Amino acid sequence: MVMNRRQLTLAAAASALASAVQAQTPYTSQPGVTVEPQPPRDPAARAFYDSFNSQLTRAPAALQPELRRLYEMAGWRPIWTAPRLRTLGQVAERSERHGLSGADHFDFAGLASDPASADIRTSIAALGYARVLAEGAVRPETVENLWEMQKNRVDLAAGLHDAVSRDRLLDWFEALAPTDIGYTNLSAGYVRYRRLIRETGGWPAFAQGGTIEPGASDRRIPALRARLVAEGDLTEGQGRTLALNGDVYGPELEEAVRGFQLRHGLGVDGRIGPATQRSLSASAEDRARQIALNLERRRWLKRELSPERIEVNTAAAIMVYWKDDRPVHSNRVVVGTANNQTPSLEKPFASVVANPPWYVPASIARNEILPRGPAYLASQNMYIAPAGNVVQRAGPNAALGYVKFELRDSHAIFLHDTPSKAAFNSAFRHRSHGCVRVQNAVDFARLLLAPDPSRLSQFDTALDSRRTQRVETGREISVRLLYWTAFVDGQGRVAFREDVYNRDARLAEALGIHLSLPQPVSAAQPDEEDVGP
């Protein structure tokens, strides 16, 4: 299992929970006042209470309020009967769906070996695993330089007590992880990859070498066929038929390779060159682990989403517009380079700016614009404002194009148009200074304003006049900048992207997962003449 690398034993589960609850409020009856609860009067409850307190000192300090509240709600009685422990076993058996290993979280033999402490230790393990399902095993701020999303938060002590009391323990654990289609489809993909590994060992290794051109013969073709069959780019029947062609890279196989290239965000040309070979060199184990990392990222996020939202996958450089909680529009986008990463943000947006000027960030002005001298500024329709900052006037060649989508409190990160349209045709679209450039941005702005014809008319009039004007959308729309290197595409297949921002590598290290995917090759950097955000 993927998480076996981490060896998340009972102690590790407790540690994960401890770090996650450090910010939780201690047991108090009034804000800022810690009160020692009165011991119960019932003799049996008092005996358990005394035993609990003697054991609690050996638990991490951050865990103590959570555990105390759980057992206080339970009336200072043991929680874990034999039927409930069997249910925990069923919970552990289902953990593979989440890219986790239940055996690592629930060491039943170890718990049973010390009956005097078994109940509280089982509670620690149960709360720890619940925390992983509900909120993730790793704090996102520790593995990303800037992460400002709305986190999922669950009252685990109250939830666990209620689930035990109502005999709904399995249902409660099942509901902790995300239940949206993005998570459940990716979870199903993970299970398929794990089954493939168990049953066949994955797929044959694909050796990197010279480019394989359509129509050529190459000794690597049998391994290629097996790989495409394993991941569903070819059916088993097609694979058997194409095997009759031996080592020839024929038209039918080329079509399947094109599907593979599309699924991996590569240039779809049918040629098996360096980029395609890098993706082919990944093992089934690595792909399963990559899926597990993206399941973890999804567990960080709050479950309730705005039915109207814009989601940008910065790993894939794709934007999807959701309305009434359904995807209704998608565009390609250009996002930040590896050195100027687009951060993970969730911010509201409520206006578009027609013909926006660009207030150049100080770092770009200092490093890329001012050294070129006054003639360059004049050629780019730029000037130095009285405050000393560089401003580019609005115009057809301005860096922000014809429209800017303003995000509130977004660290100067926003969505915008661009005069550099050719970049949208590239498979590798990590080229900006961190902002998100939107393909067909003017049409997208019109789509957002379409519900109110007067606002749409106001926007079109401003565009035609070439004057700068802000147009309110009349509603707040949530914008989410996400980093998914594994997700399920429209055909139900798991799609993968290279880890351009090195975030998979950092998350894998934090989880103790060994990841040996080939390092991405930055195929493009910002053009020297393209200084836009």
Choosing from 105, 161, 430, 435, the catalytic residue is: 435
Please check the confidence at residue 532 and state whether its pLDDT lies above 80.
no
Q: State the CB neighbour count (10 A cutoff) for residue 138.
A: 22
The model's confidence at residue 25, banded by pLDDT at 50, 70 and 90, is very low
Q: Which residues pair with 89 in a beta bridge?
A: none
User: What whole-number distance in Å separates Cα of residue 13 and Cα of residue 17?
Assistant: 6
- H or E stretch covering 390: strand 390-392
Known active-site residue 430: no
Spell out the residues 6+ positions from residue 80 whose beta carbon is closer than 8 angstroms to its own. 88, 118, 119, 122, 123
Do the Cβ atoms of 230 and 222 come closer than 8 Å? no
CA atoms 190, 196, 197, 198: torsion sign: positive
pLDDT in tens, 159-171: 999 999 999 999 9
Supply the Cα-derived Rg of the chain in whole angstroms: 27
Choosing from 98, 416, 430, 433, the catalytic residue is: 416
Q: What pLDDT, on the 0 to 100 scale, is given for residue 270?
A: 96
CA proximity to 390, closest of 413, 374, 412: 374
Question: How many Cα atoms occupy the beta-carbon half-sphere of 109 within 13 Å?
Answer: 2
Q: What pLDDT, on the 0 to 100 scale, is given for residue 57?
A: 78
User: What whole-number distance in Å separates Cα of residue 313 and Cα of residue 480?
Assistant: 8
Q: What pLDDT, on the 0 to 100 scale, is given for residue 101?
A: 75
Q: Is the pTM of this model over 0.85?
A: yes
Three-state DSSP state, 366: helix
Q: What pLDDT, on the 0 to 100 scale, is given for residue 31?
A: 43
Rounded to the nearest 10°, the torsion over CA 276, 281, 283, 289 is -60
pLDDT in tens, 429-454: 999 999 999 999 999 999 999 999 99
The model's confidence at residue 10, banded by pLDDT at 50, 70 and 90, is very low
Spell out the residues 6+ positions from residue 524 whose beta carbon is closer than 8 angstroms to its own. 423, 426, 428, 429, 430, 431
User: What whole-number distance in Å separates Cα of residue 212 and Cα of residue 29?
Assistant: 71
Tokens encoding 391: 């401003």
How do strand 382-384 and strand 403-407 relate by DSSP bridges?
A: unpaired
Q: What pLDDT, on the 0 to 100 scale, is given for residue 388?
A: 87
The model's confidence at residue 529, banded by pLDDT at 50, 70 and 90, is low
Please check the confidence at residue 409 and state whether its pLDDT lies above 90.
no
Known active-site residue 435: yes
Do the Cβ atoms of 24 and 65 come closer than 8 Å? yes
